[in-house]
Amino acid sequence: MKNQLLIFLVTIAAIRLIAAELPEGKALFNGHEPQRLDADGRWQVLRDERSDCAEGGKGWLRTDRAFTNFVLEVEWRGLETNYNSGIFVRAPLDGNPWATNVWQINLKQSAIGELLEGSMKIVPVNMPKLPAGEWIKFHIEARGAELTLDVNGQRARKFSQFTPSSGYIGLQAEGKMFEFRGLRITELP
């Protein structure tokens, strides 16, 4: 299948989403437009001969509605050394340039998988730094007060005090280029 790219610039960073076919869940990006993603009007879709692109100022890319219990599958890679990004889970809408006191699974090269609430470290993860350009697969499950994270098929952690009952899922970056592919969500009862 021919992959198409969607490039998101956050602050001075870029995030690229690559459409991918996966057997389960609903795609958050279909290869043509971010059909289940929104960014409060700060993004615009651009088309050129190479790819579909979206550019935005400082902000975050989020789902167009809140989720409660879900499994999120995503593959990602930082393209530059000292990369830093995050996946927001059950995030509120308030805040500028992104939600404040948001729960974040860190995509920072020196803290992959670390759980943050705002800027406070809740659960550190002792994973080795992975080189820029290497694809990393996250399987994130939020069910009630439990939040689990598997990294490349291995359980990284299970956290049992996850307090927001529902919220948005978002992507955020801090000054470095990222690629995301295979973003799929499956809602759970």
Looking at residue 89, its pLDDT comes to: 96
For 18-22, 28-32, 111-115, which range has the lowest pLDDT when averaged over its residues?
18-22
Give the model's pLDDT for residue 184: 87
Spell out a b/e string for 104-128, using b for 16 or more CB atoms within 10 Å of the CB, else e.
Answer: bbbbbbebbbbbbeeeeeebebebe
CA 149/CA 155 separation, integer angstroms: 6
What is the C-alpha separation between 185 and 66, in angstroms, rounded? 12
pLDDT at 187 over 70: yes
**pLDDT for 49 beyond 50:** no
pLDDT of residue 32 exceeding 70, the answer is no
Overall average pLDDT of the 98-120 stretch: 90
- Judged on CB neighbours under 10 Å (0-12, 13-18, 19+), 65 is exposed
Mean per-residue pLDDT over the chain, rounded: 74
Taking 60 as the threshold, does the pLDDT of residue 70 lie above it? yes
Mean pLDDT throughout 115-141?
A: 91
pTM of the model: 0.77
pLDDT bin (cut points 50, 70, 90) of residue 14 is: very low
pLDDT at 93: 83
Question: What whole-number percentage of the chain has pLDDT above 90?
Answer: 38
Strand pairing report for 115-117 and 168-173: unpaired
Higher pLDDT, 108 or 63: 108
Residue 150: its pLDDT value, please?
Answer: 96
For residue 27, the model assigns a pLDDT of: 67
